[in-house]
Structure 1
Amino acid sequence: MKTAILIAGPTASGKSALSLRLAADTNGVIINADSMQVYRDLRVITARPSEEDEAKAPHKLYGFMDATEVCSAAFWAERAMAEIEAAWAEGLTPIVVGGTGMYFKVLLDGIAEIPEIPEDIRADVRARCDAEGSEVLHAELRTVDPVTADRLAPGDSQRISRALEVYKATGTPLSVWHKDTRPGPLKPLEEAGGLIKLVIDPPRDVLYDRCNRRFDLMLGEGGLDEVKALMARNLDVSLPVMRALGVPSLMAYLQGEVSLEGAVEDAKMQTRRFAKRQLTWFRNQFGAWDRVSAQLSESQYRDFLNKKIKKLID
C-alpha cells in the first residue's frame, strides 16, 4: 500500500529536524508545506532548510517560486501531489512538512473550485478594508454569509476580505462554495489507513523561546541583508512574500522608521503571536492527528518510529 507522512506544526517547533530524522530512517523525500518557504528570495528569514540539510535528503518545493508570484493552496496542492506521486514511483516515502495548515486541509479535504475574482472587485474590497477596518467588513460579511463570519475573528482582514470578494463576484456565499467541495487527493489514502499524521505540539513557553532565539540566529545569518535585497526589487507590498514574518519589521528599520532593536522586538512579538495562532488552529482542526514533541529522546523516537511508522511502511 502507498504511504505518506504528514508533519504539521507551528513555526520554530522543530518540524524540519524531525523530518530529516524520518527521511533518513524511511528512505524519504521531504516536501515543503509552508507558504513562505516556497519563495527563493527568503531562505534565511523564512528558515528554509540549509544547503547542508538539503544535501542529507531530497527536498522538494522549497524556494521554487519568485517573490512576484502568489502561491495559492490549490496550486501548491497540485505541485505537492506531483511530488508525492514521483516519490511513490521511485519507491520513496513522501514526507510533507510545514506550518501552513490550509495546505494539509486541501490535500485531505479538497478546496472549493471558486471562479477567478475580478481584479476590480478584489482591489475595491482590499481598499475598503484598509480604509474602514476589518471589523466593518466583518459586520457586512455577517449579513451575507453568517456561517463564514462566525468562524472568522473580526481582525482576520485577509480571510474576511476574501469571503466578501467571493460573494461580490459570484453572488454565492463562500460557505456554500465550501459545501460543494470534493474530497482532497489524499483522502482515499487517509481512509485506507495509509497516512501517518503528526502535529508538533510543544509547550507554549518552549515555543516562544525558540521563536526568539531563532530570529536572533536569522539576523546573524544574513536575514537583514535578505530583506534589503527584497526591498531593492520595489515589489508590490500586497504580495504574500512582503508579509513574511520579520519582513515588515525589518523593512521599517531599513526605511528609518524604527530602531533595529525596536524592529527585532516587533518581529519576535509578531512571530510569537503567529505561533500561538498556529497552535490553536492545529489543536482545533487536527485534533485526531498524533501529537509529538520535536524534542523526542532517542528512545522515544525509536519507539515511535518502530511502533507507528515502520509498522505501516514495512
Structure 2
Amino acid sequence: MAAGLPKTNKTVCEAPNSWFLNCLSPEERSQLHALMQHRAYERGETIFSQGDIISGYWVLGQGKVQLIHRTSDGHKQTVELLRDGDWFGEDGFAQASASSVSAQTLAESVIGWLSLADMQDLLRRSQALALEFMRRLSHEVSKLRVRLVELAHLGTRERLIKLLLELGEKYGFKNEHGLVIDIKLTEQDLADMLGNTRVWICRQVSMLRDRGLIAYRRGQLVILDEEKLREFAPPPRKRRAIFSFWRDLAKMCKALYTLSVNKFIDRGGDSTYTGLGGDCQCCKSQRVSGTSGSVGGRF
C-alpha cells in the first residue's frame, strides 16, 4: 500500500515554527490547510516504512519523529530526528518513489500530509516558496557532505560529543541544572544515531558522566557544561599527526628504494625487476654462480 495516505482524522496542524508555512501569505496558508489531511499519532506509531511508495509530503505540526534506515544485514541507523515545523518525505518530492527511510513517532504527534500534485501546484504558484525550497535542499546536501567528512576524520568520541551538542541546540532548554535535551534518549538510541554499538556508547556516556559533563535527570539527558564538553573532544588532526608522520615516512622510504633500483638499472643492471622487495635477474644469476656484485644479492 502506498505511503502518504494517512487517516483523515481532522486535527489542527498550525506548525508555527515551520519555514514552509512562513513562506506563504495568509491566503496561501489557508488554502494549504484546506488541502492538507491531518492525523494524530500515538507514540511509537509508524507513519510510513522503508520501501513504501511516497506520493506526498508531511509536516510535523506537533510532536517528535525519527527517520530510520535499515541496512541489508538488518542494522538500524537513525538518520534524523524531527521537531515541530519540520517537513519530511523528500523521496516523493519530484515524483512518487520508494522511501529510503521509515518514519516513526517518538511522542504523541500531529502530522499533516499534502499530496504530490497539490504540493507541485503550490510551488508553481508561490515563487518565494519555490526559492526557499531550493535553498533548503541545498542546505541538506551541504549537511550530508559535512557528515561524510566527519565519518572520515572524526573519532567516535568526537562524533558522540558533537551529536549531544547538536541535540541540545535543537531540542534543548536551559534550567538551573544545565542544558536539558527535551527528548528521551537511551544509549541504544545514541548508538543507532552514530552507527555504533550500545556497549561502546554506555562506556563513553559513563565516562562523560564521571567527569561531570553530562547527567541523566528524570530520563532526560542534561549537558551540565557545554564549554567543557566542547573542549573535551580532542582536535581530530592532533591525534592523527603521528599516523600521518609514519605514513609519509613510509612513502619517502619507498620512493628512495625505487630510485636506487632505477639507478642500478641505468648503470647496466638487468631491467627485469619483480617489484618492491623482489630480485633482479642478475642477482639471481650471481647467487647461482656463487659470485657477489657491488649491489648484493637482494635489494
TM-score normalized by structure 2?
0.25
Structure ranking higher on relative contact order (CA contacts 8 Å, 6+ apart): 1
Greater percentage in strand? 2
Greater percentage in helix? 1
Determine which structure has more spread, i.e. the larger CA radius of gyration.
2
TM-score normalized by structure 1?
0.24
